[in-house]
Structures are given as structure tokens and as C-alpha cells.
Chains A and B, each alone.
Chain A
Amino acid sequence: MTTIIHPDHASVTRAPPAKSRPAWRGGGLSDRSIAWLFVAPTIALLLAINIFPLIWMIRLSFTSLNLSMSYLPLRFVGLDNFRDILTDDDVWARLQTTARFVICSVALQVIVGFGLALLINRRFRGHSFWTTIILLPMMLSPAVVGNFWTLLFQPQIGPFNYLVSLFTGVPPSSFSMTGEVALAPWTIVLVDTWMWAPYVMLICLAGLRSIPDYIYEAAEVDRASPWRQFWSITLPMTVPFLMLAVLFRAIEDFKMFDMVNLLTSGGPGSTTELVSITLKRAAFEKWRTGYSSALAIILFVTVFGAANIYVKALNRVKQR
């Protein structure tokens, strides 16, 4: 006889199986041991490719290691690398550039993505076809996106400048989207939004479709206007989904590298140099392994901390 305690505090009594088959005990191993045997390779792999490098990186962050000068003795430098980073004006400038990029990109992606979701949610004729078309950019590789937008933005042969010229009358080769200090930051925001707004749209669409129809029907019975329905039903009920989209996109944009590296290489000057590009240059071009390990840890803690605070806020919103 087996007694199961139901979550709703109800006690249920179940009869035993007519004839229970003996569990296989491979070589006399217990169920728990067999379970461990199955997960052990995964855990070993995780330890080898995630945990061990992380611990090793933490160790390296306290050293002077520079791989281009590996003949120099390895020195323990304590918190010097962290102090150097946190007192470096250039690093702070790159963090500000990254923050501006993340805020502008995510805001634009949420606005565009949510707008597209509202449109697609109307289920007009051919909406499946347009959904597929809209989703295409996010299916492309960032390397491909970076390269073809570079071509599109080319001031002399790129169609983008000609399009702008068509509407504004500004000569096409008189401005460079990726080469001018005033335009380059907006260029990377534009391309990132083009690529990832569809992703936000998908999440929002899931949110919109989870709202039961009877709520709208009740609102209509109460003669609520479409605008009122949007503010009182649609928006509040999709906020958790929007917040989730913001979280995913903010984390992704914070570590954005490939597309921006291809579009501008961080230029002109350092105008679009995101902190991920700074990290890559420190680690794999300058070979400052100790310093770059410290920078990676600082970035990890920043993202991890911010994401945790955000998730708590998200949970509070969901509980309302």
C-alpha cells in the first residue's frame, strides 16, 4: 500500500500493482548511483568547460600574466588589476557607451517589437506570411548582418544613403553612417533593432495571445473604448512578457560584440567601442590576460547583479 499526500491536503490511497517487476540494479548499483552515473558525464563536462575556466580566470585576475610576455615571471598583484580598471577613465567611458547602447537599443526594440506584435495579433489575411518575413532578420548570423549593413551604409554605393537622399535631398555621399561621430552610435542601435525587434515581437505576441478573450468581451459589455482596453487590459497583462524581453535583450546587448565589431570596429575613434570590444582587445590583441580576466569578472558581476535585481522586480510584477 502506498499513501500519497495530495497537494490539496487530500489523502489518496492507491492499491499496489498486481505484480511489481523488480527494478534493474546494474551490477548491484542503487537507483541513486545509476542516476549519478548518468549525470556524471554532463557534470564532468560542465566542470571542465565552465567551472574550471571560471575558477582559473578568477585566479588569473590577481596576477600580472601577459601572454605576449610569457617569459616574464608571473607575479601575484592582488587587487591591482581591479583597481587599474576601476580608476581608468577609458574603461568608464566604454561602460557609458555600452549603457547608452543597451538603453537605446532595448527601448527601441521594445517599442517596435510591441508595435509589431499588436499588428500581427490582429490576425489579418496573410499574417502568417508577414510574421515569417518579420522574423527573418533574427535568423541571420550577426556576422552576416554586420557585413551586409556595412555595404548598405557605404556612402558612395550603399542604398541606405541613396534612400535618405531621396527623402531629404541631402547628397548621398555627404555623410557616413558608420564613420561619423554623431551617426555611428545610432547606426549600431538601428541595426541591432532591425535584427532583434522581431524577437521582442515574438515574446510580446505570446503575451498578447495569453490574454483570455472574455476579458475583452467583458470590457466591451462595459463599453470600454479600444484605447481604454489597451491601457487597462492589454498593457498591464503583457508587462511581465515585456519585462522578460527587456531582460533577455539587455543581457544580450550588454555583451554585444560581433555585429558592432564588423560595422564600426568600435570607431570612429572609440565612439562605438562597447566594453566587450575593449575586453576582446585587452585579452586577445594586447594579451593582457590578468587584466582582462579582472575586467571579465567585473562585467560578469555587473550583469549578474543587475539581472538578479531585475528578476526580483519581475517576480513582484507577476505576483500583482
Chain B
Amino acid sequence: MCDLIIGDSQWIGGAAENHWYVKLNDFFDKEKISMDDFVPATVVGYSEWPKNTPNYWALPAMADAVGWTYRKDWFARPDIQAAFKAKYNRDLAPPKTYDELKQVAEFFQGREIDGKKVYGAYIFTERGSEGITMGVTNVLYNYGFQYENPKKAYQMQGYVNSADAAKGLEFYKDLYKCCTAPGMTNAYMQEGLDAFKSGQVAMQMNWFAFFPGLYKDPNVGGDKIGFFVNPAGPKAHFTQLGGQGISVVATSDHKDDALAYIKWFAQPAVQQKWWQLGGYSALKAVVDAPDFPKSAPFAPQFLESMAIVKDFWAEPSYAQLLLDMQKRVHDYVVADKGTSQQALDLLVKDWTKVFGEQGKTVASE
């Protein structure tokens, strides 16, 4: 078995409650590693359980969030710009709201560029693991979806399935129907990269983790690619958190070595190197440095995104919660089953049952 684990943010609850990870508070105190030195969202997302309490189970290792890439070269073409302006009476630019994004996507959908038919946008629709949930939440958050009542834990009725959240879900379906390439019914990270690299789509939703590689791509990288932050919605401006922390496996026979590695990895010089090599550091000393925004073409968007991230449930039962959402959302968005309101109502029912089995009290009102 392994000694260290790079664990997804959603795993932290289960790993902590089941004591699969070593609690790191004493180690951090001893080695003078302060969580105040890391981007706050990454500490909450990757290290803390219970959330917003100083109980640390991981060192933030790989900061990540959902962002967007676009074909900067297409956006810059005078003929395309003129056509866009004539149609929408505004300049073609990376979208700042989801309404703008849909407009741009509709504009590019089916358009012929360099003799090739292209499509508006690539969004996550994968059914089996986490894909469609990691995509749709970017819209849901910004339309007013909340996981629970901020004042009453696990009260989901009226928050998960609010009328605003239902509108957000409808929007995601509209975007999927109007502006994606054919056959994108079960597509996630790799399919998005393929679609963008093959010059098929104007805009692509994907994780920042892939952006260094895309920027280096000989066909669509360099001057041809641009990056923008997940657009805002009518109610809020968030983006889905990705990324991982690094933890010590509780059953490891080499805990001291594993801790020594974490101590080494937390050093500012190592974190700086990590960023230079294509990793995403969460250390403030790296990302708050004055020259950081200029250190990579996607660095400003990454910084902006990390300030507005929101994560899925990180409860021990996250897998059940995630698969329930995958099913309800995919049923509605891709399989045209029921209405958005019905999908979210069913999701509340599913989640209430899961939390009930976990022994959590779920308030209905």
C-alpha cells in the first residue's frame, strides 16, 4: 500500500471519519507549517474536516477549479468579429456571464471556419463517475443553488430545489442542446481536451490542471488559446472546486518518511518549483507574489477562480450523494426525463435518505 495519498477534496470527510488519514495538526505545529500560509479555499476544501474547523488531515497540494478555454485566434478574426457585432450588436469577447456564453456558443455553433464545421461549447456530460455534476454545478451555483440552508445544516428543501436552481439546471440543458458537438452525451475531461485540440469547439469547460498542457499544444496552444473564468449567473458568481490535498495513510509503515516528504513539499522554494513545472501551488507566498499573474497566461484566471470556488459535499457518504446527483441530472439534461424542478425534487429526496442512513437529522422546513 502507499504511504502518501493525493486525495480528492470530496474524500476528506470519509477519510477523516474512518481514520484512513493521519491527523496532521501536531505535525504542522511541530514543523511550524501554518495553514494561514495557504489559499483559504484550498485549506477548507482539501485539509479540514469537519469543514471550517482547525482539524487538518492534508496539506493543500494541487489547487484546481473549473475554468474555460477559448479559441483566441477565432475570436480575433475581423470577419468573425464583424458577423458577431452585426448579429448581437456588441463586441465578441470572452463571456463574463452565462447569458453571454450561450450567445457566443450559439454564434459559433455550426459555423464553418477554415472549411471545417465547428461547434459552440464543450461542457461536461459524463454519466458514470462525477462528470455531469462537476459541470452542472458551475451553472447551478450561479443561479442560486445551495447545498443546504446556511443557517441550518442539512436542510436542503428550498435550497437544492429552489426555483432559481431549477432555472440553472434548465439553462445547462439548453446549453447542452443548442451548442455542443454531436455525440457529447457521456463526455468528461478527456473528451473536452480532444474536442478542443482537434479544433472542434470555440469554448471548452475543463479543469485548470489541463491548461498548461493545452497552452503548449502545437495546434491550438500559444497565441491561439485564451482562458476565462467561469461566467457569473444572475444570482452569484462561483466556480466548482477541483484539486487535491496530500495526506499520510494511517496504515503506512513509513509515516515518518511520509511526513518528512510533506515537510519538504511545504517549503516555499519547492512550491515555487511545483508551479513552474506545471503544478498548481496553493501557497500564498507563490500565488500572491507580484509577478505571479504574469507567470503563465492562465495565472490571473486561476487566481480569480480560486477566490470564488465552491465544492460538492465532502461528507463520508459523498459517493452516494454524487451518484444520486449524476443520475438525476443526466436523466433530465441528456435523457429528457421530467422537468428540472422534478429532477431537483427527486435529488432532495435521494439526499435526505442518504443523510438519514448516515444518522444525520435532516430538517425539511
Contacts and interface: CB of A to CB of B under 8 A. Distances in A.
A220 interface: no
B319 interface: yes
B19 A71 contact: yes
B156 to A, nearest CB: 18
B128 A265 contact: yes
Given A69-B14, A69-B18, A268-B335, A287 B319 contact: yes
A155 B182 contact: yes
Contacts of B17: 69, 71
Contacts of B183: 154-156, 173, 176, 178-179
A64 interface: yes
Contacts of A71: 17-19, 316
A70 interface: yes
B359 A72 contact: yes
A293 interface: no
Contact of A268 (B128, B182, B185, B317): B185
A71 B13 CA distance: 12
A184 to B, nearest CB: 9
B14 A267 contact: no
A66 B334 contact: no
B144 to A, nearest CB: 24
A288 B127 contact: no
A269 B330 contact: yes
Interface in B1-48: 14, 17-19
A281 interface: yes
Nearest to B185: A179
A154 B182 CA distance: 9
A68 interface: yes
A285 B186 contact: no
Contacts of B320: 68, 286-288
A180 B128 CA distance: 16
A265 B335 CA distance: 13
Contacts, number: 91
B182 A174 contact: yes
Contact of B127 (A69, A175, A266): A266
B311 interface: no
Contact of B335 (A267, A281, A285, A286): A267
B336 interface: yes
Given A68-B14, A268-B335, A179 B330 contact: no
Contacts of B185: 176, 178-180, 267-268
B327 interface: yes
Interface in B304-354: 316-320, 323, 327, 330-332, 334-337
Nearest to A67: B18
A68 B327 contact: no
Looking at B18, B182, B318, B330, the one whose CB has the most chain A CB atoms below 10 A away is B182
Given A173-B183, A269-B331, A69 B319 contact: no
A191 B186 CA distance: 18
Interface residues of B, number: 30
A69 B331 contact: no
A267 B319 contact: no
B365 interface: no
Contacts of B18: 68-71
A68 to B, nearest CB: 5
B31 to A, nearest CB: 28
Contacts of A261: 128
B116 to A, nearest CB: 11
Contact of B334 (A69, A156, A268): A268
Contacts of B331: 269-270
A85 to B, nearest CB: 13
Interface in B130-167: none
A133 to B, nearest CB: 30
A276 to B, nearest CB: 14
Contacts of B330: 267-270
Given A71-B17, A267-B330, A281 B186 contact: no
A111 B334 CA distance: 33
Contacts of B181: 156
Nearest to B187: A179
B267 interface: no
B291 interface: no
A64 B356 CA distance: 12
Contacts of A287: 319-320
B316 A68 contact: yes
A267 B358 contact: no
Nearest to A262: B128
B319 A271 contact: no
Contacts of B112: none
A57 interface: no
Interface in B265-323: 316-320, 323
Interface string A150-186: 0000111000000000000000011110111100000
Nearest to B131: A265
A69 B317 contact: yes
22 contacts: A66-B357, A68-B317, A68-B320, A69-B18, A69-B317, A71-B17, A156-B181, A176-B182, A176-B185, A179-B183, A179-B184, A179-B185, A180-B185, A181-B335, A261-B128, A264-B186, A265-B186, A267-B185, A269-B336, A270-B331, A270-B335, A286-B323
10 pairs of A and B residues whose beta carbons are closest in the complex: A269-B335, A179-B185, A269-B331, A155-B183, A265-B128, A267-B127, A268-B335, A173-B182, A155-B182, A268-B334
Given A68-B316, A70-B18, A267-B334, 19 more contacts: A68-B18, A68-B320, A69-B18, A71-B18, A72-B358, A178-B185, A179-B183, A179-B184, A179-B334, A261-B128, A264-B186, A265-B186, A267-B185, A268-B127, A269-B330, A269-B332, A270-B327, A270-B330, A271-B335
